[in-house]
């Protein structure tokens, strides 16, 4: 027999007869949820990545201390990427007798590939209103030099002045307010100037031994950029390295990665919800197909025939439902994107097809993992059921079936989370939750029903019903509990994530750094802040020292020849500071912070840099500070929250050790945009102090956080919808039984309200149990995920219990009463006839 054809016919008939409604709804919501999240996250992610790349001026940089060979640019162009190059060096610029050490950047056509250079009229210095700032249209022309405000101020320049750069002269034509790569890294804090690459040779500044950084800027399709990355990686020499935005800015990297993880978490939550809905819906499906299978068995169908019948049936159902889900997901995502126009400034890139494949696969795994195993048990239904309707399937079969589904779901999670740790945490969390919820549910139901003789009318019947449907009830409570738990975890983490971002980067986060403050300027500077009604910032001392020995053994850059990053750190001077208290954005991860007033030579080091220069707790580091040696033992390692934009140091020592060395001070503070002219006054009053403006970076990150927060909230709507599917499936699962029960009760003279009160009691108990499970599970899982995966300061929220239980009770009660309305209103005889 052509099983496939018969399966399709059966599927068609069941579909038409509405037998598949619950299963279909659960599957379609799940797949469309996953696809929507997938499509949307994909688009937002690439848009965010592209926007943050504006800070870098490109999607990717190849950086070298030697001129870069042509092959890099050639390969990038071959891959269809845009390229531009840039050369950076430090040199004197002179205006008459005044000289200033300036960072000169020579650029080629096309610079910057991402973001814009912003220029201003000279008068902008005084008022700095936004209106006078405009975007540059191209790069400096031949013979022209664009300078920043610091150079303008210190060399007392105005547009049209001619300056000496090396052996040539260039005319100042523009004032640069902002340039994309300025804010990347705080290394370059001095005045800056930009010239055309064609003028660079004329300056004669590039000599043997001069310190020059050559950069190749690359931008284009993410896929091509990745291809280039893969190709270039093995080609890089020691002197060359690649940098994307993630390599360059730890705070952006952290924010991006967290939001990506969160979005995939939201998608996973809808998978859990769908699994719960399908597990519930399939129970009803098998109940409804028992008779049919028994008839087919009595008509001569073999187990093998039924096996293939249902395999084909479910494969076809999965493909159809998942395809509908994917299409709906795509449409929903289009609407969402349209609705959120302005969410991201740049046009959202077109999504790729991967989320559709994922949606399809997820749908199939869910259906085949959760629905097929219990359905396949149908083949062993005793044919005797045609004569005796009380004969059914044993529950042991369905439990084994769910185990298979669980295994399938676990694999799906680990794959979908794209993070083994996150995937495993969720899988283990859910397995533990199912086991604990199931066991507890069973016990609680037994316990509660033993109390039923003390309970009043409606409660007694409610408890009796729950007890009678014990397996169904436990399954419903577990599924509803899991669904609610997923929603609660998501809400908890979402709030924490957004709060954490907002607290680490509040609207008044420091947007300016002051560097090179001298000890005798501390007092006048404080006064300056007070005079202008600005909050005086906290000053951090800073002593510069070169690391020369580790545990008494001399170190040199050559020891780190295999690691460019480490080599750079060894060549450069470290900034050391002293402090008696641990910064609020610092956390000791190894060892212990010193006691107040310690006289010991201790130091605390940031864990990342410790790893880079290969030192551990207990090692003794020796620094050369202005010719004298300073040694201290590492007694603690710190983790720094780079999201905060506060002043932070890799190396900190207790007070009293470094005070005799030459120190300068550094601070960061917030200046509202309206008060920006104070910064210019400060520059004039304290000409030696370097002012670093990080407002651009802060704005970008804040904007990104805003966008991601919105995206997260919208994605949550889909998870919520999937939650409703679970609720629907849970109520529908016992619908047939309930209709029959109602008919008997009513035939025996029960009034509608008596019956609905008994059911309400049942729903309240069921909802309360699932709310309880969900709150307990969400608190535990939220803690684990928040702490170990998203690295948040997770706070236990006692309200979660009240919220969880209330939502559970209200949700199940409302859905239950709405869902059973028809059972109450249909005439008993009609129902009894239909069922009999």
Partner 1 sequence: MSDNRINQPILWTQALTKQVNTGDQQLTILQDIELQVNPGEAVAIIGASGSGKSTLLGLLAGLDLPTSGKVHLDTVDIFSLDEDSRAALRGRVLGFVFQSFQLLPALTAIENVMLPLELAATGNAETTARRLLERVGLGQRLHHYPKQLSGGEQQRVAIARAFATDPKLLLADEPTGNLDSATGVQIIDLMFELNREHGTTLVLVTHDEALSRRCARQIRLADGRLVR
- Closer residue to partner 1 (CB): 308 or 415: 308
Q: Does 516 bind partner 1 (CB under 8 A)?
A: no
**Residue 259: other Cβ atoms inside 10 A:** 24
Q: Does 342 bind partner 1 (CB under 8 A)?
A: no
- We find the least distance from the C-beta atom of residue 17 to partner 1, in angstroms, to be 5
Q: Does 829 bind partner 1 (CB under 8 A)?
A: no
- We find the least distance from the C-beta atom of residue 14 to partner 1, in angstroms, to be 5
- We find the least distance from the C-beta atom of residue 15 to partner 1, in angstroms, to be 9
Burial class (CB in 10 A: 0-12, 13-18, 19+), 332: buried
- Closer residue to partner 1 (CB): 283 or 469: 283
- We find the least distance from the C-beta atom of residue 471 to partner 1, in angstroms, to be 23
- We find the least distance from the C-beta atom of residue 321 to partner 1, in angstroms, to be 18
* Distance in Å from the first CA to the final CA of the chain: 32
Contact with partner 1 (CB under 8 A) among 92, 387, 443, 814: 387
- We find the least distance from the C-beta atom of residue 464 to partner 1, in angstroms, to be 23
Q: Does 826 bind partner 1 (CB under 8 A)?
A: no
Binding residues for partner 1 restricted to 141-170, rule: CB under 8 A: none
Distance CA 133, CA 744 (A): 80
Among 114, 174, 166, 121, smallest CA distance to 148 is for 174
**Residue 581: other Cβ atoms inside 10 A:** 10
Indicate the pairing of strand 144-148 with strand 60-64: unpaired
- Closer residue to partner 1 (CB): 15 or 529: 15
- We find the least distance from the C-beta atom of residue 281 to partner 1, in angstroms, to be 16
Distance CA 393, CA 588 (A): 58
- Closer residue to partner 1 (CB): 814 or 835: 835
- Closer residue to partner 1 (CB): 13 or 751: 13
- We find the least distance from the C-beta atom of residue 826 to partner 1, in angstroms, to be 14
Stretch that binds partner 1, among 345-353, 381-389, 430-438, 593-601 (CB under 8 A): 381-389
For partner 1, how many residues bind (rule: CB under 8 A)? Answer: 31
Q: Does 297 bind partner 1 (CB under 8 A)?
A: yes
Q: Does 298 bind partner 1 (CB under 8 A)?
A: yes
Distance CA 560, CA 569 (A): 10
SS3 state at 541: strand
Tokens of 126: 């005084």
Tokens of 532: 């202008």
**Element housing 61 (H / E):** strand 60-64
Contact with partner 1 (CB under 8 A) among 386, 414, 564, 817: 386
Q: Does 376 bind partner 1 (CB under 8 A)?
A: no
Q: Are 379 and 293 in contact (CB under 8 A)?
A: yes
Contact with partner 1 (CB under 8 A) among 211, 233, 388, 453: 388
- We find the least distance from the C-beta atom of residue 386 to partner 1, in angstroms, to be 5
Residue ranges of alpha helices (H) inside 103-211 are: 124-127, 149-154, 197-203
Q: Are 102 and 152 in contact (CB under 8 A)?
A: no
Q: Are 692 and 516 in contact (CB under 8 A)?
A: no
Contact with partner 1 (CB under 8 A) among 110, 143, 222, 292: 292
Stretch that binds partner 1, among 71-79, 292-300, 484-492, 803-811 (CB under 8 A): 292-300
Q: Are 416 and 358 in contact (CB under 8 A)?
A: yes
In the chain, DSSP finds a helix count (H) and a strand count (E) of 26, 22
Contact with partner 1 (CB under 8 A) among 224, 242, 290, 301: 301
Contact with partner 1 (CB under 8 A) among 91, 305, 709, 735: 305
Indicate the pairing of strand 664-669 with strand 620-625: unpaired
Q: Does 830 bind partner 1 (CB under 8 A)?
A: no
What is the radius of gyration, based on Cα positions, of the chain?
34
Binding residues for partner 1 restricted to 3-42, rule: CB under 8 A: 6, 9-10, 13-14, 16-17, 19
Q: Give, in order, the Cα–Cα distances in Å from 107 to each of 119, 162, 186, 198, 723.
A: 16, 20, 20, 8, 54
- We find the least distance from the C-beta atom of residue 303 to partner 1, in angstroms, to be 6
Distance CA 35, CA 331 (A): 10
- We find the least distance from the C-beta atom of residue 272 to partner 1, in angstroms, to be 31
Q: Are 273 and 30 in contact (CB under 8 A)?
A: yes
CA count, 13 A, side-chain hemisphere, 159: 12
- Closer residue to partner 1 (CB): 600 or 834: 834
Q: Per-residue contact track with partner 1, 46 to 75, x per CB under 8 A? A: ------------------------------
Distance CA 181, CA 57 (A): 6
Is-cis flag, bond preceding 112, omega within 30? yes
Stretch that binds partner 1, among 238-246, 262-270, 301-309, 695-703 (CB under 8 A): 301-309
- We find the least distance from the C-beta atom of residue 295 to partner 1, in angstroms, to be 5
Applying CB under 8 A, the residues found at the interface with partner 1 are 1, 6, 9-10, 13-14, 16-17, 19, 291-292, 295-305, 382-384, 386-389, 834, 836
């Amino acid at each position: 027999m052509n099983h496939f054809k018969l399966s399709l016919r059966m599927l068609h008939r069941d579909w038409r007869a509405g037998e598949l409604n619950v299963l279909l709804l659960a599957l379609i919501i799940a797949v469309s949820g996953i696809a929507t999240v997938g499509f949307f996250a994909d688009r937002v992610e690439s848009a965010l990545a592209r926007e943050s790349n504006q800070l870098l001026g490109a999607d990717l940089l190849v950086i070298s201390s030697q001129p870069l060979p042509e092959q890099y640019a050639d390969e990038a162009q071959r891959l269809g990427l845009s390229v531009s190059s840039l050369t950076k060096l430090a040199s004197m610029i002179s205006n008459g007798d005044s000289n200033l050490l300036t960072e000169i950047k020579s650029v080629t056509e096309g610079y910057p590939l991402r973001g814009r250079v912003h220029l201003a009229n000279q008068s902008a210095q005084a008022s700095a209103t936004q209106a006078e700032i405009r975007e540059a249209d191209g790069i400096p022309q031949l013979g022209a030099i664009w300078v920043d405000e610091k150079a303008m101020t210190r060399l007392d320049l105005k547009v049209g002045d001619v300056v000496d750069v090396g052996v040539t002269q260039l005319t100042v034509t523009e004032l640069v307010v902002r340039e994309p790569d300025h804010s990347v890294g705080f290394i370059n804090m001095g005045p800056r100037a930009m010239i055309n690459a064609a003028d660079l040779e004329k300056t004669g500044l590039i000599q043997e031994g001069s310190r020059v950084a050559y950069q190749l800027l690359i931008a284009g399709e993410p896929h091509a950029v990745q291809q280039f990355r893969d190709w270039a990686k093995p080609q890089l020499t020691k002197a060359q390295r690649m940098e994307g935005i993630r390599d360059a800015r730890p705070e952006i990297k952290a924010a991006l990665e967290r939001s990506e993880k969160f979005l995939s978490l939201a998608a996973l939550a809808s998978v859990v919800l769908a699994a719960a809905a399908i597990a519930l819906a399939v129970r009803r499906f098998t109940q409804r197909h028992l008779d049919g299978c028994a008839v087919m068995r009595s008509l001569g169908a073999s187990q093998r025939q039924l096996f293939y019948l249902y395999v084909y049936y479910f494969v076809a159902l999965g493909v159809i439902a998942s395809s509908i889900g994917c299409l709906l997901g795509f449409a929903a995502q289009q609407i969402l994107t349209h609705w959120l126009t302005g969410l991201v400034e740049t046009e959202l890139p077109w999504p790729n097809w991967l989320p559709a494949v994922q949606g399809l696969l997820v749908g199939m795994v869910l259906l085949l993992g959760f629905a097929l195993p219990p359905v396949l048990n149908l083949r062993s239904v005793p044919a005797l059921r045609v004569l005796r309707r009380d004969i059914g399937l044993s529950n042991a079969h369905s439990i084994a079936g769910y185990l298979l589904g669980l295994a399938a779901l676990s694999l799906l999670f680990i794959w979908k989370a794209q993070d083994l740790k996150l995937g495993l945490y969720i899988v283990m969390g859910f397995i533990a939750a199912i086991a604990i919820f199931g066991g507890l549910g069973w016990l609680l139901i037994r316990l509660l029903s033993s109390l039923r003789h003390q309970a009043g009318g409606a409660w007694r019947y409610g408890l009796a019903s729950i007890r009678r449907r014990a397996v169904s009830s436990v399954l419903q409570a577990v599924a509803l509990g899991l669904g609610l738990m997923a929603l609660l975890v998501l809400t908890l983490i979402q709030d924490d994530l957004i709060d954490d971002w907002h607290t680490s980067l509040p609207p008044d986060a420091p947007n300016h750094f002051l560097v090179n403050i001298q000890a005798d300027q501390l007092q006048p500077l404080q006064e300056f802040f007070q005079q202008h009604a600005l909050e005086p910032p906290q000053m951090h001392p800073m002593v510069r020292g070169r690391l020369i020995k580790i545990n008494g053994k001399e170190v040199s850059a050559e020891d780190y020849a295999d690691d460019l990053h480490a080599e750079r750190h060894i060549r450069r001077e470290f900034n050391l500071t002293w402090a008696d208290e641990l910064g609020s954005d610092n956390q000791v991860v190894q060892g212990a912070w010193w006691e107040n007033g310690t006289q010991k030579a201790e130091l605390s080091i940031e864990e990342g840099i410790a790893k880079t220069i290969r030192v551990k707790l207990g090692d003794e580091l020796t620094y050369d500070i202005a010719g004298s040696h300073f040694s201290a033992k590492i007694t603690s390692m710190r983790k720094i929250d780079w999201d905060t934009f506060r002043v932070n140091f890799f190396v900190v020592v207790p007070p009293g050790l470094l005070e005799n060395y030459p120190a300068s001070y550094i601070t960061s503070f917030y200046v509202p945009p309206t008060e920006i002219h104070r910064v210019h006054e400060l520059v004039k009053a304290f000409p030696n102090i370097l002012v670093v403006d990080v407002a651009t970076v802060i704005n970008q990150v804040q904007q990104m956080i805003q966008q991601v927060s919105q995206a997260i909230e919208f994605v949550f709507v889909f998870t919520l919808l999937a939650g409703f599917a679970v609720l629907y499936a849970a109520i529908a699962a016992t619908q047939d039984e309930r209709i029959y029960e109602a008919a008997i009760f009513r035939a025996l003279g029960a009034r509608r309200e008596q019956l609905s009160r008994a059911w309400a009691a049942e729903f309240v108990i069921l909802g309360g149990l699932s709310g309880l499970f969900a709150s307990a599970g969400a608190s535990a899982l939220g803690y684990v995920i928040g702490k170990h995966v998203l690295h948040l300061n997770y706070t236990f929220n006692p309200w979660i219990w009240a919220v969880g239980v209330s939502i559970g009770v209200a949700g199940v009660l409302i859905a239950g009463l709405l869902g059973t309305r028809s059972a109450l209103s249909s005439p008993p005889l009609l129902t009894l006839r239909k069922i009999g």
